[in-house]
Structure 1
Amino acid sequence: MDDWLERMSHLADPDKEPQDVLRAYIQAKLAFSREQPCASRVYAMEVIGGAQLYGDKIRERVVPIVRKDIELFERWIAAGKIAPINATHLLFAIWAMTQSYADFAAQMALVLGREQLQPQDYQDAEDTLLKLVLSALGIKP
């Protein structure tokens, strides 16, 4: 959790444009999935199990960062920088799309006919996810 929070805590910079923040966020989440797949899976299993061991830590450390990100997204919406969207669920969707590259890497590799995901697969994922998110927000990729 420490490594993930370190990567995520500085991304929601209000002085940057939405597409730059979102690109950095998606890149960081995919990099974590690529570099720390076991840590991602352990975290996922903790949450899937009801966050019995780390629920308090998640509330204390993760939730404030996420709320700060949501507030930034809502400011962008109010300023007309992005299309109106439920910012909380947007983050949930980004998490799901990026974390799946750790949690379901074996299935993805099988579908792609490989032993494991390759660097180009992560680049393709980044390009695709960024296009999806930016398009949904009315931003030209």
Structure 2
Amino acid sequence: MSHFEPIKRHYEQSCDLQQSIRQQDDEFSEQLETLNARWNDNAGQAFYPRYGVPLQDEVQRLQDNTSNFVTTTGELVNALTDVDKLNEELSKEQSQVDDLAHQQQSKNSEIAAMERRIESTHEDIGNTLSQASSIAASVP
């Protein structure tokens, strides 16, 4: 599982929660406007005239919607907090990966330097053998 899967999942959940909050907010605002208009029109009649619903029931329904809105908002905040924590963990892991990559680059540089020294030593040995052969050939 990729490090990004939990973040992606939390992000999608937070988007869903945010959309739900917007819908509930829109619905609540519309209902509140309608309720206020009807209240003003009917001067506080005991029933919600259009639907025949007792006013107290309608007020309770709107209070329930408000409670659901607050709960959903809390869930969104929790999901966003989880995403922040996962981002922090991912950042720490990325730092570790970067450190390991830097260490690997240093090791590669050391290996390249050793390979150059080996090549130089081989050249020196070759030159020494050539000189030894020349000296040996000149000795009667």
More helix by share: 2
Q: TM-score, normalised by structure 1?
A: 0.26
Larger Rg: 2
